Amino acid sequence: MAGKSYQVIVRGKFPPLDDRQRADLLARADDHDVYQARFTEEGTLTYERSLLGFTFRCLVPATEEDGESVVTGRAEALAGAAVRGLGADYRDLTSVATDLDSIKIRRRGHPTG
């Protein structure tokens, strides 16, 4: 898909979990530690052992016409699928998208402007 790429961070909360869901998530917590976080097209889901909330990071390819709401919608759908894949549900999603083309890299020793 020609166009842009966005880094998206989706944050959400787990609704009340039953004992089995808690045990399953805790058993896999090391695999979903913040140190495993990467921006990939598949996305990575991280959460703490408190099981209060989670963070999902992903890269979303987009066309020039796709607005931020389209991009965050795709990211939130991926996040929801990742959480459900672990046997849990989610609520209160919030997302922040960064257009990678808009990031300016400042090199040390080079004047900007």
Give yes or no for a contact between 1 and 58, defined as CB atoms under 8 angstroms apart: no
Q: How confident is the model at residue 1 (pLDDT cuts 50, 70, 90)?
A: very low
Can you list the domains of the chain with their CATH numbers? Answer: 4-102 (3.30.70)
Region 10-39 average pLDDT: 95
pTM: 0.86
Taking 90 as the threshold, does the pLDDT of residue 51 lie above it? yes
Question: Tokens 């990211």, residue?
Answer: 75
Closest-CA residue to 95 (of 113, 64, 68): 68
Which H or E run contains 55? strand 53-62
Q: How confident is the prediction for the chain on average, in pLDDT?
A: 91
Residue 86's Cβ-count burial label (10 Å; 0-12, 13-18, 19+) is middle
pLDDT, tens digit, 9 for 90 and up, residues 74-99:
999 999 999 999 999 999 999 999 99
Let me know: does 43 contact 82? Beta carbons within 8 Å. yes
